[in-house]
């Protein structure tokens, strides 16, 4: 069968892998020194340090090793968006192999970056997917020599590579220690329901897992890798850590099982704590478990630390123990048909007795023609005499002996069909036997009865049983050892689950059909002299099961302590959970030392719990959560139909995955609702932590695809209708300038954006570079990177869009027209005032500004222009008591009202009060206007002070005429004369000096009192104006008022009126709002005749003169605020 090659995006680039070859998640990296292993021509640390900049050129001397396949999980999808492949865009691979043929001359210019297919396939010929086997010290030393060891290609088939490892992981401690007790307590029918629930869950999960595992190579990390690459780093990290905790607690459970077998069935006399009273037996057992469990954990940790290869070599021995034990059970069942084993159970009335301290199940026996009391008598009486005081129940009931294992043909199956649940301390009774009264509960607890050690109910048994079906990931975790992983993993895993399901179902039925109910419910075999209950059924000896289960639990515990640290190391090396970074390091040969220490510490918590029945539901939760997300990953990928979703395993369906997911969730809450909530809270906390603090990763995960689909759906829905006024908020397009080094010129514009938006709605930060994209692409990317960095610094949440255009005018036009997508388009443009337009040699700067104003008006967008933007507060500033003054001259749809409200939501402006000024004309009723405005604000639910300023129709001042004249003269001169640069600068300085003088005049007038606002022209003011102009500009003749009239008459009267408005309004605004933190003012529209554009800029300069922070506002032609709810 021909191999198929897949190009997998990894490490910011493209790795090429032979599909069908996976790696081992349980064992570590092959590199002898993880700190110096080279990938891409440098150390791992070098690569990680250079990840942050995607635009820096690659080292020209770096040689990318094609044939090395490093499977460290953090080398897969490290978030670098630009791909760089050892095959694509790599000029160093084929140095010396220049192409000089003629057949492919059409492609000869691309040979440096895109190699020939034959060249690619030739390099893949020597590719090998090495197993992730941990090297021991001596192996690492040998590898350092000049000659490397010959690498054997993976040769394992389905049976040895997947089927048997899965079998070993699935069958284990619960089968040997708890299944008989579950059958006896729940009954055959309910036990079958438990087995069916759990096995269905794992079978559905295996189907989903097979689909994911056959959709490309699964490197180190196993299930963690599958989930994280399918659902993203947040889910991957959360579920990966849950799976790690589950594996760790599984280690605790196996160690507890090992100690339980050791102390209960092999050497009971080794117990350190011995109960003197019967009621203390449970506590003594738990304390023994804690002491011996801790010792066992320490020993196993040392074994794992010293050498994992010994664990791997012993795995086959442990597996043989499991298989022999199961065969012994079936052999024992068959033997019961012909010759049932002799394990009598002593009953007092209908109560089961513990058979530790007596030999014969009799009250009295005849020895040498003498009737004497037995040891049993002494347990219930205060002496061995016949007249001793005895327990009343003991006197009233007979002692009988029943066969513990009556055999397959005995018909006991009908009695074991139904459940027998009960509380803690309930006696194990046989309902077929009669008993007579005299029971004293206060005394019964001291008697040698077999009782329930915990309260039993159906959901508890589900939680205790579920760990016995886990372990289905063993095949996918060892995929690097497989000859054909794409074929072996599905077949091996599903066959292993089918086999173990068959074993569990048959065991449930056979146990119920062969073993007496009271013996089944006897958890520790107290009624059969402390024998393992399942051992009593086995052939040829109970010791086969005892020894087999002991080694099985030992092996499983070692496997957990081997696998869990490597899983944690894989998560740590991915870099998604910052505080786990230290656990990514290990010994020189890659052994995860720190991770092993943490694993042992968590494992100790489970051992201190000490009860197998209490630990089992904990790890059930974590495994169920892992399986839930495996199903979710498969379902999401299937429904999204992502192009890369091409599993070799075809027998999957999203409905099966959803069913498996629902079953996992149901089992979590069935097993233990409070543990389920705790597990989900832990996973949720890890998810949020990774989301806020973790490294950003792009792994092509399904959740990102889901987000894209949801975004597409939402955008299509949004486009159906424009937003209602109640939902309107400024969706900003911020026009940002960059300097020659592509650094952001005015970062305070981004601060204002953040304060205005508070993270809500859409923000697009746009920039235009002049030139062509082919020559400016590097600059554009650098500018985009710098803008994103500035956005991050200023906490501006949004998108960045850099456009390269032949001229700035067209670039800004394209941004205004095309930025955004569908319903998520901007409705407001924010830009800075071109403060240096007068000094600029190029009139295009202010012309671009005016054209942008016109285009926003044509596009029905609102416009915000910030003057002196560099003086605006940063996000760290906290403005004290002050005001935000709104000058509402013309109605703009309510923008002027809405903006201060939005600003005051941010902590920078929170202490500022809002004042609204409106202008009354001669024929307006200012008192009524104020009342109406106050009522309007009340209905808008806005708190603001209201003031109405009256502006009378006064005579136009000589000052206004003079400013208009100077403005027109300057405009005319610039149009008619091609001034040199020096002359332009001189002219700009002249205008600047005159404006300074004019500003001083305005301040003088403002200081004379508010009544001077409504000024008229007087003779004194004429001489003051004349003298000031003479002092400022000696070369400008200032004539007598009457001599200047002819020049005034030649002025454009429209310009005179506009200048008059600008001067008068500026006087009023400066007088009222000079001390305000921010002034919001209606922005007049540009003239329809483009010939007056320069005059328009002068009008705005006059209007804003003397004000510090100003935000000019121009509405978008629609209402943005409403009084209705």
3-state SS string for 256-272:
HHHHHHHHHHHCHHHCC
Classify 305 as helix, strand or coil.
helix
Phi, psi of 1097 (to 5 degrees): -65, -40
Whole-angstrom Cα distance, residue 26 to residue 36? 22
Q: Spell 771-786 as b/e; 16+ CB within 10 A means b.
A: eeeeebeebbebbbbb
CA distance 584 to 754: 38
Please check whether residue 1067 is in contact with residue 1005, taking contact to mean a CB–CB distance below 8 angstroms. Answer: yes
Nearest to 504 by CA among 354, 748, 759, 329: 329
How many CB atoms within 10 Å of residue 692?
8
pLDDT value at 974 more than 70: no
Q: What is the pLDDT of residue 1019?
A: 41
Q: Are 490 and 218 in contact (CB under 8 A)?
A: no
Residue 269's Cβ-count burial label (10 Å; 0-12, 13-18, 19+) is exposed
Which residues share a beta bridge with 950? 920
* Average pLDDT score over the chain: 76
Residue 300 reports pLDDT greater than 80: yes
SS3 591: coil
**Which is more confident, 1045 or 397?**
397
pLDDT at 1072: 86
Number of H helices, E strands in the chain: 37, 19
In 907-977, DSSP assigns E strands to 912-920, 945-950
Longest dimension (CA), the chain: 159
Q: What is the pLDDT of residue 865?
A: 92
In this prediction, residue 119 has a pLDDT band, given cuts at 50, 70 and 90, of low
Does the structure show a pLDDT above 60 at 821? Answer: yes
Q: Calculate helix-pair angle for 1093-1104, 844-858, nearest 10 degrees.
A: 90
Q: Within its chain, how far is the Cα of 949 from the centroid?
A: 56
Closest CA to 600 of 254, 309, 306, 297: 297
Closest CA to 796 of 746, 745, 758, 825: 758
pLDDT tens, position by position, 361-375:
888 888 878 888 888
Cα separation, 447 vs 285, whole angstroms: 18
> Looking at residue 219, what is its pLDDT?
59
Strands 351-352 and 344-348: antiparallel
∠ at Cα 978 (972, 979), nearest 5°?
A: 90
Q: What is the CA radius of gyration of the chain?
A: 43
Name the residue among 694, 596, 579, 676 with its Cα closest to residue 242: 676
Alpha carbon separation from 1079 to 587, 600, 913, 1112 (Å, rounded): 65, 64, 12, 8
State the CB neighbour count (10 A cutoff) for residue 62.
13
- Return the percentage of the chain with pLDDT > 90, whole number: 16
pTM over 0.75, yes/no: no
Cross-strand partners of 427: 451
- Pair 284, 273: CB distance under 8 Å: yes
Q: What DSSP element (H or E) covers 493?
A: helix 485-514
Give the side-chain half-sphere CA count within 13 A for 927.
0
Mean pLDDT of 270-280: 78
pLDDT exceeds cutoff 80 at 673: yes
Give the position of tokens 């000058």: 887
- The pLDDT of 771-792, averaged and rounded, is 90
Q: How confident is the model at residue 7 (pLDDT cuts 50, 70, 90)?
A: very low
Residues in the chain: 1125
Q: Are the beta carbons of 5 and 18 closer than 8 angstroms?
A: yes
Residue with tokens 């505080």: 579
CA distances to 143, 150, 998 from 137, rounded to whole Å, are 10, 18, 86
Burial 959-969 (b: 16+ CB within 10 A, else e): bbbbbbbbbbe
Q: Are 329 and 537 in contact (CB under 8 A)?
A: yes
Rounded Cα gap, residues 296 and 247, in angstroms? 17
Per-residue pLDDT, 985: 57
In 3-state terms, what secondary structure has residue 119?
Answer: helix
Higher pLDDT, 1122 or 43: 1122
The dihedrals phi and psi of 23, each to the nearest 5 degrees, come to -125, 170
Q: How far apart are CA 156 and CA 478, in angstroms?
A: 10
Question: 1084 is written with which tokens?
Answer: 């007049």
**Which residue blocks in 940-980 are alpha helix, DSSP H?**
958-976
Q: In angstroms, what CA-CA distances link 979 with 917, 972, 984?
A: 43, 12, 6
DSSP lists the bridge partners of residue 429 as 351
Copy the structure tokens of residue 789. Answer: 């960095």
Side-chain half-sphere exposure of 767, counting CA atoms within 13 A? 28
pLDDT for res 996: 56
Q: Residue 23: its pLDDT value, please? A: 39
- C-alpha neighbours within 13 Å on the C-beta side of residue 1007: 6
Q: Collapsing DSSP states into helix, strand and coil, what is residue 39?
A: strand
Sequence-ordered strand ranges (E) for 966-1122: 1078-1082, 1110-1114
Distance between start and end Cα atoms, the chain: 70
pLDDT band for 53, please (50, 70, 90 cuts).
Answer: very low
Q: How confident is the model at residue 1026 (pLDDT cuts 50, 70, 90)?
A: very low
> Is pLDDT above 50 for 1110?
yes
What confidence score (pLDDT) does residue 667 get? 92
pLDDT tens-digit profile of 460-513? 999 999 999 988 887 776 666 677 777 888 899 999 999 999 999 999 999 999
- Residue by residue, what is the 3-state secondary structure of 143-165? HCCCCCCCCCCCCECHHHHHHHH
Q: What is the pLDDT of residue 602?
A: 93
> 644: closest CA among 574, 702, 696, 698?
702
**Higher model confidence: residue 316 or residue 21?**
316
Nearest to 29 by CA among 80, 65, 69: 69
- The encoded tokens of residue 692 equal 């806020």
What confidence tens digit (pLDDT) does each residue in 156-215 have? 788 888 888 888 888 888 888 889 999 999 999 999 999 999 999 999 999 998 898 888
Most confident of 12-26, 650-664, 785-799: 650-664
Check if the beta carbon of residue 69 is closer than 8 Å to that of residue 31. Answer: no
Instruction: Identify which has the larger pLDDT, 77 or 410.
Output: 410
| Angstrom distances, CA of residue 377 to CA of 104, 372, 390, 437, 491 | 102, 10, 8, 19, 60
Share of the chain above pLDDT 70, in %: 73
């Amino acid at each position: 069968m021909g191999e198929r090659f897949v190009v997998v995006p990894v490490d910011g680039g493209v790795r090429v892998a032979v599909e069908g070859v996976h790696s081992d998640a349980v064992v570590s990296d092959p590199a002898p020194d993880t700190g110096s292993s080279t990938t891409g021509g440098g150390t791992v640390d070098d690569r990680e340090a250079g990840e942050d900049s995607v635009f820096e050129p690659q080292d020209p001397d770096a040689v990318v090793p094609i044939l090395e396949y490093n499977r460290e999980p953090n080398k897969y999808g490290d978030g670098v968006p630009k791909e760089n492949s050892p095959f694509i865009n790599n000029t160093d691979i084929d140095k010396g192999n220049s192409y000089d043929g003629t057949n492919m001359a059409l492609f000869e210019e691309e040979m440096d970056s895109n190699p020939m297919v034959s060249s690619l396939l030739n390099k893949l010929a020597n590719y090998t997917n090495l197993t992730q086997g941990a090297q021991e010290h001596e192996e690492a030393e040998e590898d350092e020599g000049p000659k490397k060891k010959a690498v054997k290609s993976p040769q394992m088939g389905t049976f040895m590579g997947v089927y048997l490892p899965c079998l070993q992981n699935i069958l284990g401690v619960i089968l040997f220690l708890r299944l008989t007790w579950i059958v006896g307590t729940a009954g055959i029918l309910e036990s079958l329901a438990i087995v069916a629930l759990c096995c269905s869950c794992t079978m559905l999960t295996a189907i989903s897992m097979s689909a994911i595992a056959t959709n490309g190579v699964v490197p180190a990390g196993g299930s963690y890798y599958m989930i994280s690459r399918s659902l993203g780093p947040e889910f991957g990290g959360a579920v990966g850590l849950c799976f790690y905790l589950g594996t760790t607690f599984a280690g605790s459970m196996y160690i507890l099982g090992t100690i339980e077998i050791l102390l209960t069935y092999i050497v009971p006399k080794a117990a350190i704590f011995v109960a003197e009273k019967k009621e203390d037996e449970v506590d003594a057992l738990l304390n023994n478990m804690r002491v011996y469990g801790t010792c066992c954990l320490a020993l196993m940790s040392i074994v794992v630390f010293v050498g994992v290869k010994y664990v791997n070599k012993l795995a086959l021995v442990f597996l043989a123990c499991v298989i022999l034990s199961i065969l012994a059970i079936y052999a024992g069942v068959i033997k019961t048909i012909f010759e049932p084993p002799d394990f009598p159970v002593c009953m007092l009335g209908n109560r089961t007795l513990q058979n530790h301290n007596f030999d014969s199940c009799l009250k009295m026996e005849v020895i040498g023609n003498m009737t004497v009391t037995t040891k049993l008598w002494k347990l219930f009486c205060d002496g061995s005499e016949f007249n001793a005081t005895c327990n009343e129940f003991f006197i009233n009931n007979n002692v009988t002996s029943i066969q513990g294992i009556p055999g397959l043909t005995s018909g006991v199956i009908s009695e074991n069909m139904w459940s027998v649940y009960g509380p803690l301390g309930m006696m194990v009774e046989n309902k077929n036997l009669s008993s007579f009264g005299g029971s004293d509960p206060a005394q019964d607890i001291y008697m040698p009865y077999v009782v329930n050690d915990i309260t039993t109910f159906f959901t508890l048994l589900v939680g205790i049983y579920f760990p016995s079906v886990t372990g289905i990931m063993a095949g996918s975790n060892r995929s690097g050892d497989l000859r054909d992983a794409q074929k072996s993993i599905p077949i091996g895993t599903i066959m292993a689950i089918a086999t173990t399901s068959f074993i569990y179902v048959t065991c449930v039925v056979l146990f119920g059909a062969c073993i007496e109910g009271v013996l089944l419910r006897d958890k520790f075999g107290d009624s059969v002299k402390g024998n393992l209950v399942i051992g009593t059924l086995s052939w040829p000896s109970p010791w086969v099961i005892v020894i087999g289960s002991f080694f099985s639990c030992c092996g499983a515990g070692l496997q957990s302590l081997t696998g869990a640290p490597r899983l944690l190391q894989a998560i740590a090396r991915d870099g998604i959970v910052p505080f786990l970074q230290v656990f990514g390091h290990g010994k020189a040969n890659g052994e995860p030392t720190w991770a092993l220490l943490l694993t042992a510490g968590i494992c100790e918590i489970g051992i201190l719990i000490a009860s197998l029945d209490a630990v089992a539901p904990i790890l059930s939760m974590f495994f169920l959560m892992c399986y839930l997300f495996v199903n979710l990953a498969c379902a999401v990928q299937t429904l999204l139909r992502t192009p890369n979703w091409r599993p070799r395993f075809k027998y999957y369906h999203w409905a099966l995955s959803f069913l498996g997911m629902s079953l996992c969730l149901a089992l979590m809450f069935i097993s233990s609702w409070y543990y389920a909530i705790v597990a989900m809270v832990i996973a949720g906390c890890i998810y949020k932590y990774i989301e806020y603090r973790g490294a950003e990763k792009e792994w092509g995960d399904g959740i990102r695809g889901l987000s894209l689909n949801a975004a597409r759906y939402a955008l299509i829905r949004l486009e159906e209708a424009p937003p209602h006024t109640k939902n309107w908020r400024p969706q900003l397009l911020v026009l940002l300038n960059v300097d020659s080094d592509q650094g952001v010129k005015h970062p305070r514009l981004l601060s204002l954006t953040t304060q205005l938006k508070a993270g809500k709605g859409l923000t697009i930060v746009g920039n235009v570079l002049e030139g062509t994209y082919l020559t400016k692409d590097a600059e554009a990317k650098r500018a985009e990177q710098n803008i994103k960095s500035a956005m991050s610094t200023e906490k501006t949440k949004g998108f960045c869009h850099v456009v390269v255009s032949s001229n700035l005018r067209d670039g800004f036009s394209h941004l205004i027209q095309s930025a955004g997508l569908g319903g998520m388009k901007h409705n407001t443009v924010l830009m800075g005032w071109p403060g240096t337009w007068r000094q600029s040699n190029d009139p295009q700067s202010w012309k671009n500004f005016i054209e942008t104003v016109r285009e926003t008006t044509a596009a029905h967008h609102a416009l915000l222009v910030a003057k002196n933007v560099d003086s605006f507060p940063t996000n760290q500033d906290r403005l004290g008591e002050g005001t935000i003054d709104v000058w509402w001259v013309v109605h703009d749809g309510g923008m002027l009202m809405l903006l201060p409200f939005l600003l005051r939501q941010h902590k920078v402006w929170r202490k500022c009060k809002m004042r609204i000024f409106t202008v009354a004309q001669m024929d307006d009723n200012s008192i009524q206007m104020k009342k109406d405005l106050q009522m309007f604000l009340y209905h808008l639910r806005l708190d603001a002070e209201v003031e109405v300023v009256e502006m009378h129709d006064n005579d136009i001042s000589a000052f206004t005429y003079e400013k208009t004249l100077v403005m027109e003269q300057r405009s005319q001169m610039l149009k008619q004369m091609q001034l040199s640069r020096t002359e332009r600068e001189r002219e700009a300085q002249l205008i600047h000096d005159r404006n300074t003088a004019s500003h001083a005049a305005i301040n003088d007038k403002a200081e004379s009192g508010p009544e001077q606002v409504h000024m008229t022209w007087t003779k004194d003011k004429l001489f003051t104006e004349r003298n000031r102009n003479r002092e400022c500009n000696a070369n400008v003749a200032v004539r007598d008022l009457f001599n200047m009239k002819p020049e005034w008459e030649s002025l454009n009267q429209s310009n005179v009126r506009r200048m008059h408005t600008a001067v008068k309004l500026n006087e009023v605004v400066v007088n009222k709002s000079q001390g305000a933190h921010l002034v919001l003012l209606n922005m007049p529209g540009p003239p329809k005749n483009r010939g007056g554009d320069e005059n328009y800029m002068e009008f705005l300069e006059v209007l804003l003169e003397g004000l510090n922070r100003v935000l000019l506002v121009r509405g978008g032609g629609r209402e943005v605020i409403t009084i209705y709810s």
